Structure 1
Amino acid sequence: MDELQRRWLFALSAPMVAINARYDARYDLPNFYPDNEFVDLTESWDIADRPALLAMIQRMTDNGHASDLSGAYWDNARLLPSEWQKLVDSLDASQQVAYRYVADTILVCGSGGIRAWDLGRMSFLARIGQLNGWLSLEESLWLHSRLSLRARYYYQNWQSYLAGFLIGRSYWSCLGHEQADELALCISRQGSNPTHVALARELAMNPAAGLDDLHWDLELDLPEKPESLEAFDWS
């Protein structure tokens, strides 16, 4: 796998780099923070070692926050407008807010919905895992190769992938609101969320992000699963 292909894989966590740009996160380096020797993930992720890291990546890649809305995105993509409205009308108030959010965002992220929110964060964790000495570069690249297959299955280009991440982060930011009116208000404010505005500006204006030079359909020489991960039952 050449350098350009590696950059493509690491670009899966480009939104996480953009969020952490002020802490000198790097788009192109496998260990994310070149000036750090260790990042404590216990408080933010409850991860303190290699087994916990691998377990989190295994669980969250396919069963993270995106699973909350994956059915809704699929239904919106396949149902007639009248069928969709009938479905929405059958839901409780909070679910209706979530489903309206899906209808409002599917044109920019596609039926893949917010899976990029989970995929981008798992790419971030794999890179931090290498930084912390829990993963080798070979292992991180293989994990990234699995993430890349999912990203290309669910999205058609970098624009829809990045939109899926941002839409997913906006949804995650509002998860604490159980009342429908509070949830709707929170979602309506996400467009002006300073973190989201800064993220979008960073990705659009920083040449280091380099997404314009990384064709979505770039041929990737995906690595074989390392022997050190043979006991890790995931693909």
Structure 2
Amino acid sequence: MEDLQQRWLFALSAPMVAVNRHAGADYALASLYPDNEFVDLKESWDIAERADLLAMIQRMTDDGHARELSSAYWEHARLLPSQWQALLDSLQPAQRVAYEFVAETSMVCGAAGIRAWDLGRMSFLARIGQLNGWLNLEENLWLHSRFSLRARYYYQSWHSYMAGFVIGRAYWNCLGHEEAKEQSLSLSRQGSEPAHRAMVRELALSPAAGFDELPWDMELELPEKPESLEAFDWS
């Protein structure tokens, strides 16, 4: 696979690179950190070995946080305004807050919602997996080819993909509030959250991100599944 195509694949975790640029994360490097030999994922992800990593990727890629809002984004895309309002009126307070958040953000990320949040983080984990010696480059690229198929199925541009990631991060940042009013207030403040603003500014202004060289519809020569992953039942 050509270097430019590899860069396209690794750009799926560009928001995670932007968040970790202060720690030396590199947009184009397959293993993410040029100056690190190992990143401990035990405390933050409960991942301590290859099997843990692959299990997390298999589960979270299609059944992560996006699952919690996918129905809401789909309903918002297909219902008439009057039907959407009737749906809101039928919901419990906490669920209504989530659906109102969907209505406020769907014009930016589309019906795909926050799937990019899950895809971007799994791309990040696969790259850390190579850094930690749990994956080789061939395996890393194959996993990324699976992420790319999903990303381009759900999104139409880097803009909508990145928006889905940022909105997903905002939603994740507000999980844990038991009261609907608290969750609503927390969600309303996410647009001014310094970490979100810094991430978006880095992605938009850093020449290292290089999105101008990576058209969304770039032709990708997707690799065959490595023999070393044949027992990994995932596609």
TM-score normalized with structure 1 length: 0.99
Cα distance in 1 between the residues matched to 2:156 and 2:194: 27
Identity %: 73
Query: Which residue does 1:111 correspond to in 2?
Result: 111
Letter paired with 1:51? A
Letter paired with 1:228? S
Query: Which residue does 1:130 correspond to in 2?
Result: 130
Deviation digits for residues 11-39 of structure 1, max 9, x if unmatched? 00000000001001000000000100000
Deviation, 1:114, is 0.2
Deviation digits for residues 125-176 of structure 1, max 9, x if unmatched? 0000000000000000000000000000110000000000000000000001
Structure 1 runs of 4+ aligned residues shifted over 2 Å read none
Query: Which residue does 1:59 correspond to in 2?
Result: 59
Query: Which residue does 2:181 correspond to in 1?
Result: 181
Deviation, 1:188, is 0.7
Deviation digits for residues 189-222 of structure 1, max 9, x if unmatched? 1011111010000001100001121100000000
SS where residue 130 of structure 1 aligns? Answer: helix
The answer to whether residue 24 in structure 2 is matched with residue 14 in structure 1 is no
Cα distance in 2 between the residues matched to 1:151 and 1:212: 18
Letter paired with 1:192? S
**Cα RMSD after superposing both structures:** 0.4
Query: Which residue does 2:36 correspond to in 1?
Result: 36
Query: Which residue does 2:201 correspond to in 1?
Result: 201
> Which sections of structure 1, spanning at least 5 residues, go unmatched?
none
Cα distance in 2 between the residues matched to 1:176 and 1:189: 15
Aligned length: 235
Cα distance in 1 between the residues matched to 2:210 and 2:199: 15
Cα distance in 1 between the residues matched to 2:202 and 2:88: 36
Query: Which residue does 1:81 correspond to in 2?
Result: 81
> Which sections of structure 2, spanning at least 5 residues, go unmatched?
none
